[in-house]
């Protein structure tokens, strides 16, 4: 019996050679081709790109063959390409959508399959269900054209996605790079052996600012980290290098460069919720822009506070850009993002962009003349004090429905000594607390993991809230 392929928070992911096989990739591609053909996209181009994981370029070629076999044409990136660059290529090439072979931040054993629509953004949950329904059980039902034949016929075209993206950053006034080049900063960059390698040196060359990169080669085993996820302990080597090189800031991009992490000038990690707050504050205060904010329920309530201060609406969605991207498109949002460190911006495609987020952080520093620690103090002063966050992940392979019943039955009245005021079940179980903070329990959409998150105004209660959360989930 054929394996059932399911799309999670962001696409389908699996263990290479176990369930992530060439046959299953081809079956998955057939499902996407069926979806596009039902929308009348026959004969149109689809962008296909990939990351630096094991055999990603070969999986991408297999995708191209199946798309060509279904009468669709393919623009195939000429090498490993950041997810936001692939997303912009969809718009630049006026393509019907994209397939991106990447497992983003997953362990080195994994690979993945992301799909995007004609905006370059994530396809909504209903569209993903249609794609899943169109995946054939039998590999024989996946149409396929020999790569060399399709290439000779002009049905598979290799292209450079980088140049149009770089032109887009400047010609569409997303960022003025020259002041950053001239600022004389020392910028440490950790590309986590991923697709972000070489991008900041290329974008910021020719001025006084110096960029120092580490982990900027292809190595699918991801040495010196558990996985290419921009959180500790994976970034500890980069944080130390920041101090050793007396750098002004550390920029971190994950495996496919759609997520951005930040380390301050002292080699301390600024968690991703605080970075989201900083970027929204930069857009509203420094750039003086106005527009809606879209946030997942697992990210910071500082955004709600900023929304009140600057008079802009804040929309809360389930976890994943399959919810964020459609809402951003609907509202023409100024900024959207999630707890994982993925942020998207108006004027760009509705996709997480770790490169642009890093550039905006540098621009924030240059325009204010302040270091990351000073900018964080300014943000806390604006929103009325510090916000504290942490997350714990626990392996989980049991029955989610049985676990959900345990959580509902436990129904806590307090967490870490703070009174629970509300339960929200939009995505998982979010318990609102009396200090305006929250604790969330949800199952990962990309891995067999149960996550417990919290944000609170009480730094001394974070550990206790998470421990209580694990007890509520029946883990401890």
Dihedral angle computed from the Cα positions of residues 287, 289, 294 and 299, in that order, rounded to the nearest 10 degrees: 30
pLDDT at 210: 98
CB atoms within 10 A of CB 412: 16
CB neighbourhood size of 421 (10 A):
12
With CA atoms as reference, report the closest residue to 108 among 202, 199, 210, 229: 229
pLDDT, tens digit, for every residue of 33-91?
A: 999 999 999 999 999 999 999 999 999 999 999 999 999 999 999 999 999 999 999 99
Q: Encode pLDDT of 447-462 as tens digits.
A: 889 999 999 999 999 9
pLDDT(1) > 70: no
Map out the domains of the chain as residue ranges: 12-165, 173-383, 388-472
- pLDDT-derived band at 476 (thresholds 50, 70, 90) equals confident
Return the ∠ at Cα 302 (arms to 297 and 304), rounded to 5°.
65
Q: What DSSP element (H or E) covers 352?
A: none
pLDDT at res. 300: 97
* Cα–Cα distance, 333 to 349 (Å, whole number): 11
Q: CA 136, CA 151: separation in Å to the nearest integer?
A: 25
Helix axes 272-281, 372-383, angle to 10 degrees: 80
What long-range pairs does 123-126 form, CB within 8 A, spacing at least 24? 123/97, 123/322, 124/322, 124/323, 124/325, 124/326, 125/322, 125/323
Residue with tokens 């929308």: 39
> Cα separation of 101 and 49, whole Å?
6
Return the half-sphere exposure (C-beta side, CA atoms, 13 A cut-off) of residue 108. 15
Q: What is the DSSP letter of 95?
A: -
**Tokens standing for 342?**
């993925």
Reduced to 3 states (helix: H, G, I; strand: E, B; else coil), residue 29 is: helix
Summarised one tens digit per residue, pLDDT across range 266-295 is: 999 999 999 999 999 999 999 999 999 999
Name beta bridge partners: 210.
186
Same fold, 173-383 and 388-472: no
Query: What pLDDT, on a 0 to 100 scale, did the predictor assign at position 466?
Result: 97
pTM of the predicted model as reported, rounded to 2 decimal places: 0.95
Q: How confident is the model at residue 314 (pLDDT cuts 50, 70, 90)?
A: very high
Which residue's structure tokens are 């081709």? 33
Residue 2 has pLDDT above 90, yes or no: no
Burial 95-128 (b: 16+ CB within 10 A, else e): bbbbbbbbbbbbebbbbbbbbbbbbbbbbeeebb
The predicted pLDDT at position 438 comes to 97
Instruction: Classify domain 12-165 at the CATH topology level.
Output: Alpha-D-Glucose-1,6-Bisphosphate; Chain A, domain 3 (3.40.120)
pLDDT score, position 162: 98
Q: Does domain 388-472 have CATH number 3.30.310.50?
A: yes
What span, in angstroms and rounded, lies between the C-alpha atoms of 101 and 74?
A: 14
Which of 373, 375, 343, 374 has the alpha carbon at shortest distance from 359?
343
Nearest alpha-carbon partner for 418 in 474, 459, 358: 459
State pLDDT tens for residues 91-131.
999 999 999 999 999 999 999 999 999 999 999 999 999 99
If residue 308 lies in a helix (H) or strand (E), which one and from where to where? helix 302-310
Tokens (6 digits) for 440: 């969330």
Q: What percent of the chain has a predicted confidence (pLDDT) above 90? A: 95
DSSP 267: S
The answer to whether 104 touches 10, Cβ cutoff 8 Å, is yes
Superfamily classification of domain 173-383: Alpha-D-Glucose-1,6-Bisphosphate, subunit A, domain 3 (3.40.120.10)
């Amino acid at each position: 019996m054929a394996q059932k392929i399911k799309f999670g928070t962001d696409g389908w992911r699996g263990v290479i050679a176990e369930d992530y096989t060439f046959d299953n990739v081809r079956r998955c591609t057939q499902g996407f081709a069926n979806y596009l053909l039902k929308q009348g996209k026959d004969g149109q181009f689809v962008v296909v790109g990939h990351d630096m994981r094991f055999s990603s370029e070969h999986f991408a070629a297999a995708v191209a063959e199946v798309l060509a076999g279904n009468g669709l044409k393919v623009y195939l990136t000429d090498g490993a390409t950041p997810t936001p660059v692939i997303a912009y290529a969809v718009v630049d090439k006026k393509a019907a959508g994209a397939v991106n072979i990447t497992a983003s931040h997953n362990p080195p054993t994994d690979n993945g399959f992301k799909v995007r629509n004609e905006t370059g953004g994530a396809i909504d949950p209903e569209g993903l269900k249609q794609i899943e329904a169109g995946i054939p059980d039998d590999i024989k039902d996946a149409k396929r054209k020999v790569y060399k034949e399709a290439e000779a016929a002009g049905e598979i075209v290799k292209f450079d996605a980088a140049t149009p993206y770089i032109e887009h950053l400047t010609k569409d006034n997303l960022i003025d790079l020259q002041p950053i080049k001239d600022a004389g900063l020392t910028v440490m960059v950790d590309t986590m052996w991923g697709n972000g390698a070489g991008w900041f040196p290329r974008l910021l060359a020719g001025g006084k600012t110096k960029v120092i990169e580490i982990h900027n080669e292809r190595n699918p085993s991801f040495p010196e980290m558990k996985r290419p996820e921009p959180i500790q302990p994976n970034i500890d080597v980069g944080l130390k290098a920041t101090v050793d090189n007396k750098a002004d800031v550390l920029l971190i991009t994950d495996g496919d460069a759609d997520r951005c992490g930040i380390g301050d000038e002292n080699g301390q990690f600024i968690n991703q919720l605080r970075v989201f707050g900083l970027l929204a504050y930069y857009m509203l205060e420094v750039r003086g822009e106005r527009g809606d904010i879209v946030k997942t329920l697992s990210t910071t309530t500082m955004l709600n506070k900023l929304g009140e201060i600057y008079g802009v609406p804040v929309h809360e969605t389930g976890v994943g850009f399959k919810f964020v991207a459609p809402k951003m498109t609907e509202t023409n949002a100024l900024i959207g993002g999630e707890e994982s460190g993925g942020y998207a911006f108006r004027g760009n495609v509705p996709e997480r962009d770790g490169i642009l987020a890093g550039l905006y952080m540098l621009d924030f520093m240059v325009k204010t003349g302040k270091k990351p620690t000073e900018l964080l103090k300014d943000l806390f002063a604006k929103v009325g004090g510090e916000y504290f966050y942490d997350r714990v992940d626990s392996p989980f392979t049991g029955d989610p429905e049985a676990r959900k019943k345990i959580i509902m039955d436990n129904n806590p009245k307090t967490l870490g000594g703070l009174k629970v005021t509300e339960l929200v079940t939009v995505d998982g179980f979010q318990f609102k607390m009396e200090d305006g903070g929250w604790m969330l329990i949800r199952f990962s959409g990309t891995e067999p993991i149960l996550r417990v998150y919290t944000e609170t105004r009480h730094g001394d209660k974070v550990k206790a809230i998470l421990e209580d959360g694990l007890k509520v989930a029946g883990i401890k």
